[in-house]
Amino acid sequence: MKTQLRNQVAALFFLLPAAAALSILPTAAMAQPAEAELRSLQVTSDGGLDAGSELQFTVEGAPRGRAHVRIDGVNRNILLKETSRGVYTGAYTVKRQDRINEDSAIRATLRVRNRSVVANYSFPAGISRPQVAAAAPSALKIDRFSVAPIDKIEPGAELRFTLNGMPGGVAGFDIPGVVSNVPMREVRPGVYEGAYTLRRLDKLTPSRPIVATLRAGDRSVTSALTQSLTADAKPPVIRNMAPRDGEAVMDGGAIAVSGTFDDAGGVGVDPATVRIMLSGRNITADSQITPQFFTYRADLPLGRYTVDVTARDMAGNAVHKTWNFDVVTPVGAAPAAVPLQITSHANNTVIEGSTTVVRGRTAPGALVDVKVVGIPPVVGQFGVTQNVLQQRVQADGNGNFSFSFAPQLPLPGTRYEITMEAYKGNLKAESTLVLFQKQG
């Protein structure tokens, strides 16, 4: 296979027969089973082989292994990281004391389990010589960066990206917080394709877009992905409304109107699309709004209130929720229910990753059944709902009670839904509290 090479442009080396410039090492290495297969090596330089130049290496072979390259004249192994299935990448900056040239051999080693395969390559002629362009360079641009939507963001799902732009360049993409510089192949002139398989601990952040980069020599251009990763046709859901539908709230202080957004399996709610109406009055600008929840707090006069909330997720799916509650004056008669109030946290509070203590107040001596459920974030974290705590506590003589919980794996963005039921005699009260794990 004949490959035209230019300075600062990737050179792709495939394993060639023994008579070619790329020779395979001893027979023992070739005799390894297919699971230790090493198929190709790709090298990119931003300045030839001069000191200060950065060499980028990409090895393709069997997945789930450990790979490194060694260059004659460089006194160290260059470790590679598996950035997608069977693709290992790494970089090395040429130092002044290095003694490398176009004749220096490159040895690639791939170890899978207890088996290894080794192959020798050499730099192609001309990689260290600057090349003068015969004509003005073509316009470097990206016309389109897209993804093939998947059904669900989960471990094992493959994201396949396509870039359309200037032909003859070097393309790659970055998924912030997950993987960087994933190479894309030019499958047709100006059409580049690349893929990444999601892993269990990957964290995708909707606020940080996936970015493609197209390079030609010392020039580069980028483009952010504006398309949704999923074929999301399911609208989000508004849960954990407070006050609850039909609830009578006693007058006597600020009242919090809040709810949580649940777009499980989708791409998350766009905060810019959220609109909150309270009895016909737009309170959106006075509310705290995030992709996970909304909260409005104010002193409300006596009367009946209607809450009307609309929003859209990143894929454009709409949600609309309406409910009512009443603000009433406490009466002097015996209560129809045991009181139950949370004193330590407001609804939708962000908590740290350590032990969280929740305090409340109810009738003296009342029993309180507590249940805490952890729900992983909508996008970027994978796992199942956690039953964090289930406990019964008793209020003291002043009606004060408390409980604490500490999840084993406090994933950023996790939503904790806490339900409490207080009992005393024939009286009963229920309350809910939603807390969010701090991001980062």
pLDDT, tens digit only, all 440 positions of the chain: 434 434 333 443 433 333 333 333 333 344 344 456 888 888 878 778 888 888 888 888 888 889 999 999 898 999 999 988 888 899 988 888 888 888 888 998 988 888 888 888 877 666 766 554 444 456 899 999 998 888 777 888 899 999 999 999 999 999 988 999 999 999 999 999 999 998 988 887 666 789 999 999 889 999 988 777 777 667 889 999 999 898 888 876 788 999 999 876 566 788 999 999 999 999 999 999 988 899 999 988 888 899 999 998 877 788 999 999 988 876 554 455 678 889 888 888 888 878 899 999 988 888 999 999 988 775 444 456 788 899 999 999 888 999 999 887 777 778 889 999 998 887 888 888 999 888 75
- Predicted local distance difference test score (pLDDT) of residue 233: 64
Helix (H/G/I), strand (E/B), else coil: 361: strand
The helix (run of H) or strand (run of E) holding residue 29 is helix 27-30
* Nearest of 320, 302, 301, 300 to residue 310 by alpha carbon: 320
Angle CA(340)–CA(407)–CA(236) in degrees, nearest 5? Answer: 75
Question: Given this model, what pLDDT does residue 14 score?
Answer: 38
Q: Rounded distance, CA 341 to CA 239, Å?
A: 20
Which residue pairs, CB below 8 angstroms and at least 24 apart, start in 286-292? 288/348, 291/206, 291/261, 291/378, 292/260, 292/261, 292/348, 292/377, 292/378, 292/413, 292/415, 292/436
Spatial CA neighbour of 107 closest among 78, 147, 85: 78
CB 431 within 8 A of CB 342: yes
- SS3 of the chain: helix, strand, coil, percent, to 5: 5, 50, 45
At residue 235, the pLDDT reads: 84
Q: Identify the CATH assignment for 142-224 out of 2.60.40, 1.10.760, 1.10.287, 2.30.30.
A: 2.60.40
Fold of 11-122: Immunoglobulin-like (2.60.40)
- CB-based contact 64:82 (threshold 8 Å): yes
Domain ranges of the chain: 11-122, 142-224, 233-333, 338-440
CA-to-CA separations, 20 to 44, 120, 177, in angstroms, rounded: 21, 11, 41
- Tokens 């069997």 sit on residue: 62
Residue 56 contacts residue 91 (beta carbons within 8 Å): yes
Fold of the domain built from segment(s) 233-333 = Immunoglobulin-like (2.60.40)
Q: How far apart are CA 25 and CA 88, in angstroms?
A: 20
Coil, strand, or helix at residue 91? strand
Asked if domains 11-122 and 233-333 share a fold, the reply is yes
The CATH class, in words, for 338-440 is mainly beta
Return d(Cα 392, Cα 401) in angstroms, integer. 10
The residues, any chain, with a CB within 8 Å of residue 392's CB and separated by 6 or more, are 367, 368, 369, 370
Residue 307: what pLDDT? 95
